[in-house]
Amino acid sequence: MPRPYQPSLLRLLHGATALLVPLAWLTGLLVYSRYDGRFGRLPFTLAGEWIDIHGTVGVLLWPLALLFALYALTAGRLRLRQPANALALVALVMAVGSGKLMDEDWLRDGQFHHLVYSVHLLAWLLIALAVTLHVVAVLQRGGLPLARSMASVQLRPGDLPGNWFDQIRRSFKVRS
């Protein structure tokens, strides 16, 4: 079987997203535990302005998620036929979209009743589930070689940054 290869633009956008999502998730957990905690709290508190830190991760994540989603829907759309890939993308868009609509003062003011906040909490749960399913599906389908292909730094000829625009453009022509 040929070694799996992922296009470099996908690796860049996916890799940066896969680094920021766990950071957003963990800082979100700390925010939830400190300010909300209706369904339980962590048994410890960590000093820090976690709302600001979580917001900063969100500010970095949303433009990246937008580019990644645009890539996945164009050049990467055949990969979205894998349900676990599509679910991971839906969860990402839901988490980032609802996060952008949040007001950072809601939790400081104890306002937990906003619909957008409930959607954001749901997205926080969903993304953990979706990414777990996604990684399990990747390992089932292609094992470690497929998982590793996303972290590889090898470049094939014709897959350099100068080719990215062409790759996206071609994806509009290929219909399947």
Q: Which residue ranges make up the site for ligand HEM (CB under 6 A)?
A: 10, 14, 17-18, 21, 72, 76, 79-80, 82, 85, 88-89, 92, 131, 134-135, 138, 146-147, 149-150
Closer residue to ligand HEM, CB minimum distance, 107 or 123: 123
Angle (nearest 5°) at CA 173 between 12 and 17: 20
Least spacing, CB of residue 84 vs ligand HEM, in Å: 8
For the chain, the maximum distance between any two Cα atoms, rounded to a whole number of angstroms, is: 57
Closer residue to ligand HEM, CB minimum distance, 98 or 107: 98
Least spacing, CB of residue 105 vs ligand HEM, in Å: 28
Least spacing, CB of residue 22 vs ligand HEM, in Å: 6
CA 86/CA 130 separation, integer angstroms: 9
Q: Is 151 helix (H, G, I), strand (E, B) or coil?
A: coil
CA 97/CA 58 separation, integer angstroms: 10
Count the alpha carbons within 13 Å of 144 in the hemisphere toward its beta carbon: 0
Closer residue to ligand HEM, CB minimum distance, 80 or 155: 80
CA 167/CA 75 separation, integer angstroms: 7
Measured from each CB, the residue nearest to ligand HEM is 76
Least spacing, CB of residue 45 vs ligand HEM, in Å: 26
